[in-house]
C-alpha cells in the first residue's frame, strides 16, 4: 500500500523542513490503512519501533509512504513502513525513514480479535517475516529494560 502526496507548509517545523511528528502521522495512517485492509476490522496502533530520520523532507517535495504487511500473530499485524521523498521535478527519491508499526484488530468494545493469517510466498516475504520475528525477540529485552520506568 502506498500513500503519495506533497509535503505542505502545514507540515513545517521551525527550520522550514517537515516536522518529525508529521512523518509519524503519515506512518500511522499508512499502517492503519494496511491493517484495516488486511483484517477487515477497525485496528489500533499498539507499538511503533525504531524510527530514525535519515534525511530531512523539504516542503513541496513529493512523499511516498510504503506500507507492507510482514507478519501476523493471532490479533496483531506487523507492518513495515518506508518513507521516501524527493523533488517532484526529478526522479531521485531518498529514504527518509523506515520502521515497523504493529496494529491490533479490535471489536466495537476495543477488545483484540483474530486476524487472517499472512503466509509469506516469495523469498523476500520469508526474509521479511524472519526480520519481524527477530525484532520481536529484541523488543523483549528493550521492554524489560523500560518496564521499571513505565509504572505499570
Ligand atoms: C492494543 C490493545 C487493544 C491490546 O490490548 P491487550 O489487552 O494488551 O491485548 P493482548 O495482551 O491480548 O495483546 C494483543 C496483541 O497485541 C500484541 N502486543 C502487545 N504489546 C505489544 C508490543 N509491545 N509490541 C508488539 N505487539 C504487542 C500482542 O502480542 C497481541 O498480539 P497477538 O494476538 O498477535 O499475539 C490495548 O493495549 C489498547 O487499547 N492500547 C491502546 C491502543 C491505542 O489507543 N493506540 C493509539 C495510540 S494512543
pLDDT at 152: 67
Q: Which of 85, 79, 78, 37 is nearest to 59 (CA)?
A: 85
**Can you give the pTM of this predicted structure?**
0.95
Strand partners, 77: 72, 103
The torsion region of residue 7 among left (phi > 0), alpha (psi -120 to 50) and beta comes to: beta
- The answer to whether the CB of 39 is under 6 A from ligand 1 is no
Cβ of 73 closer than 6 Å to ligand 1, yes or no, is yes
Taking alpha carbons only, the member of 129, 112, 132, 111 closest to residue 120 is: 129
Which residue, by CA, sits nearest to atom 47 of ligand 1?
A: 45
Condensed to tens digits (0 to 9), the pLDDT of residues 56-113 reads 999 999 999 999 999 999 999 999 999 999 999 998 999 999 999 999 999 999 999 9
pLDDT of residue 91: 82
Ligand 1 atom with the shortest distance to the CA of 106 = 3
Rounded mean pLDDT, 38-54: 95
pLDDT tens readout for residues 119-146: 999 999 999 999 999 999 999 888 888 8
For ligand 1, the distance from its centroid to the CA atom of residue 133, given in whole angstroms, is: 16
CA of 7 to the centre of ligand 1 (A): 31
pLDDT greater than 80 at residue 151: no
Mean pLDDT of the region 28-44: 98
Q: Is the pLDDT of residue 150 over 90?
A: no
Do the Cβ atoms of 76 and 10 come closer than 8 Å?
A: no
Q: Which atom from ligand 1 is nearest to the alpha carbon of 143? A: 23
Q: CA-CA distances (angstroms) from residue 85 to 4, 51, 94?
A: 10, 16, 6
Q: What is the Å distance from ligand 1's center to 106 Cα?
A: 10
pLDDT for residue 109:
97
- Say which residue the cell 471489536 belongs to: 107
Amino acid at each position: 500500500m502506498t500513500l503519495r502526496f506533497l509535503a505542505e507548509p502545514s507540515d513545517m517545523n521551525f527550520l522550514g523542513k517537515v516536522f518529525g511528528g508529521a512523518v509519524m502521522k503519515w506512518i500511522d495512517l499508512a499502517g492503519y490503512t494496511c491493517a484495516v485492509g488486511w483484517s477487515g476490522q477497525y485496528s489500533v496502533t499498539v507499538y511503533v519501533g525504531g524510527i530514525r530520520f535519515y534525511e530531512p523532507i523539504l516542503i513541496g517535495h513529493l512523499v511516498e509512504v510504503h506500507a507492507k504487511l510482514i507478519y501476523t500473530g493471532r490479533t496483531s499485524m506487523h507492518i513495515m513502513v518506508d518513507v521516501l521523498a524527493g523533488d517532484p521535478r526529478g526522479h531521485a527519491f531518498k529514504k527518509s525513514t523506515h520502521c515497523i508499526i504493529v496494529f491490533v484488530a479490535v471489536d466495537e468494545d476495543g477488545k483484540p480479535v483474530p486476524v487472517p493469517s499472512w503466509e509469506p510466498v516469495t523469498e523476500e516475504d520469508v526474509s521479511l517475516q524472519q526480520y519481524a520475528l527477530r525484532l520481536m525477540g529484541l523488543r523483549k529485552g528493550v521492554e524489560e529494560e523500560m518496564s521499571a520506568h513505565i509504572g505499570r
